[in-house]
Chain A
Amino acid sequence: MGAAEAAAQAKLRMDGVGRRFERDGKSIAVLDGISFDVSDGEFVCLVGPSGCGKSTLLNLMGGFLPPTSGSILIDGETVEGPDPRRILVFQERGVFPWLTVEGNIAFGLAKLPKAERQERVAHYVRMVQLEGFERSYPSDLSGGMKQRLQVARALAVNPDILYLDEPFGALDSVTRLVMRAELLRIWQTERRTIVFVTHDIDEAVQLADRVVVLSSRPAKVMDILEIDIPHPRNISSPRYLELRDDLLGKIGLAHSV
């Protein structure tokens, strides 16, 4: 495949993206010359040390913040602002507490005819396995259920890209494992492009097609690692452990605690 063809195929293109913030009269660089491509239907994880600017990067991709340098292109068009074609899923408080499960999933579907809306809501309630909780409010749901609800609300508007900002970071370790399997199952049926921010190396190696490794602030792309293990992944296979150690090394962490 030629370079021109690859460029034409990129769903999301980050091209020399930088972002600075003004704090107390000083200009602080958070992101510096970030470049990588994400192709259609790909699952990409962004990993990096805490506070390195991963969430800022996701906010730029989502159009919530403009970059101070470089450009972000989706299907060849510059990102100008937030857009329902690409939905950001937050770590916490992402669902509206004043709406029921059904109300949350239907949030982005106000323009659809009622019958179609109900059908879409029922479909995604089933997909994230919240049957029986349609009329429940988020305060009656567990943390994992709230995150599944948030993913369902995002998928219901049929977006091209899902951005997930450490979506399982606030969950306990068992729930986190279950949620990863759930997300992979959903991704395999729906085939959306996913950009997933995490600081958990295992999470990245379990989920991603490719892992983009960011440095500490100001964040630069240090490496891009391909995870060439087919799903479902055996997390004790030699190849898995090799990739995991490789990634740990790149982030600069020792193997022993």
Chain B
Amino acid sequence: MSGTARTFLALRPFAFLGFLLLLWQLAVALRPDGLMPGPVGVALGVGELLRHGLLLKYAVASLFRVTWGFLLAAVLAIPLGLVIGWHRRAEWAINPLAQIFRPISPLAWIPIAILWFGVGDLAAIFLIFVGCFFPLLLTAMSAVHRVPSVYLEVGRNFGLGGWDFVSRVLYPAVAPQLITGARITLGIAWLVVVAAEMISVNSGLGFLIIDARNAGNRYDLVVAGMLVIGLIGLLLDVGMRSLERVRSFRWSYSED
């Protein structure tokens, strides 16, 4: 394939995106009733937010909450889930509770979060924590169940016990599933933070969106905020996917 042909192929998705943007701008130009800002307006909005330093500040605030809520949940839920998954009796006790809590939207916790922590970072972090805790717990529990018993027997056969067994057999055997579960859960955290910030704090990308509407119906800024949320969410997912490609994680039980 020639160099120009390859460049053309690589540019094709962007060309399509450009075409859609053009359509969007045309549609807005034909119906100028303010129901939807156009791409030019949104781009100007992003520029305005950047100039005032708000975009960076709010993105950092949102990422800060997601990081803490997600890490706290991971640190508590993953080891707990592994232990519960390993001990069948503990699972019989815990599982009904986990199954009841899991379908409760993290947003249902907003009143309680504000009651316990007031309006501020802690309330938002708590909501993300709640949203991440149960998915991670259940991921870790099922990861333990899905470890082929052969690996456990080989570990015992070579005389491994206690910490050696956990670190050299159990952990590597569950790691790929934990990483996939963590990637999905981080996506949930990023959904939750936007909603949490609309209600329980005065900064962040979620606050930006609700504030842009309340303070003068600036729908160009609303869409600009949405665009930034989408882009950051995409970057988080790409980052987690690159972790899935680490060589010692890149195997699955199906291949053999």
The answer to whether A82 and B157 touch across the interface, beta carbons within 8 angstroms, is yes
* Distance in angstroms between the alpha carbons of A52 and B45 in the assembled complex: 74
Question: Could you tell me the distance in whole angstroms from the C-beta of A155 to the nearest C-beta in chain B?
Answer: 13
Question: Could you tell me the distance in whole angstroms from the C-beta of B141 to the nearest C-beta in chain A?
Answer: 21
Question: Could you tell me the distance in whole angstroms from the C-beta of A17 to the nearest C-beta in chain B?
Answer: 19
B157's contact among A62, A99, A110, A139, by CB below 8 Å, is which?
Answer: A62
Interface stretch, picked from A1-9, A41-49, A89-97, A204-212, is A89-97
The answer to whether B157 and A94 touch across the interface, beta carbons within 8 angstroms, is no
Residues of chain A in range 38-69 having any CB-CB distance to chain B below 8 Å: 62, 64
B153's contact among A88, A92, A97, A108, by CB below 8 Å, is which?
Answer: A88
Write the chain A residue with the least CB distance to B157.
A82
* Distance in angstroms between the alpha carbons of A139 and B151 in the assembled complex: 16
* Distance in angstroms between the alpha carbons of A64 and B151 in the assembled complex: 13
B150 at the interface (CB under 8 A from A): yes
Query: Tally of A-B residue pairs with Cβ under 8 A?
Result: 59
B90 at the interface (CB under 8 A from A): no
The answer to whether B150 and A90 touch across the interface, beta carbons within 8 angstroms, is yes
Q: With A87-B157, A98-B249 as given contacts, are A92 and B256 in contact (CB-CB < 8 Å)? A: yes
Secondary structure of the A contact surface, majority rule: loop
B255 at the interface (CB under 8 A from A): yes
A228 at the interface (CB under 8 A from B): no
Q: With A137-B247, A139-B251, A139-B255 as given contacts, are A96 and B158 in contact (CB-CB < 8 Å)? A: no
Residues of the A chain whose Cβ atoms lie less than 8 Å from the Cβ of B164 = 110
Residues of the B chain whose Cβ atoms lie less than 8 Å from the Cβ of A87 = 157-158
Residues of chain A in range 91-116 having any CB-CB distance to chain B below 8 Å: 92-94, 96-99, 107-108, 110
* Distance in angstroms between the alpha carbons of A225 and B164 in the assembled complex: 43
A83 at the interface (CB under 8 A from B): yes
* Distance in angstroms between the alpha carbons of A62 and B157 in the assembled complex: 8
Could you give, for residues 139-162 of chain A, a 1 whenever the CB lies within 8 Å of some chain B CB and a 0 otherwise? 100000000000000000100000
A249 at the interface (CB under 8 A from B): no
13 further interface pairs, Cβ-Cβ under 8 Å (given A84-B157, A96-B172, A108-B158): A84-B158, A88-B153, A92-B150, A92-B256, A94-B150, A96-B151, A97-B255, A98-B173, A98-B251, A99-B248, A108-B159, A110-B164, A137-B251
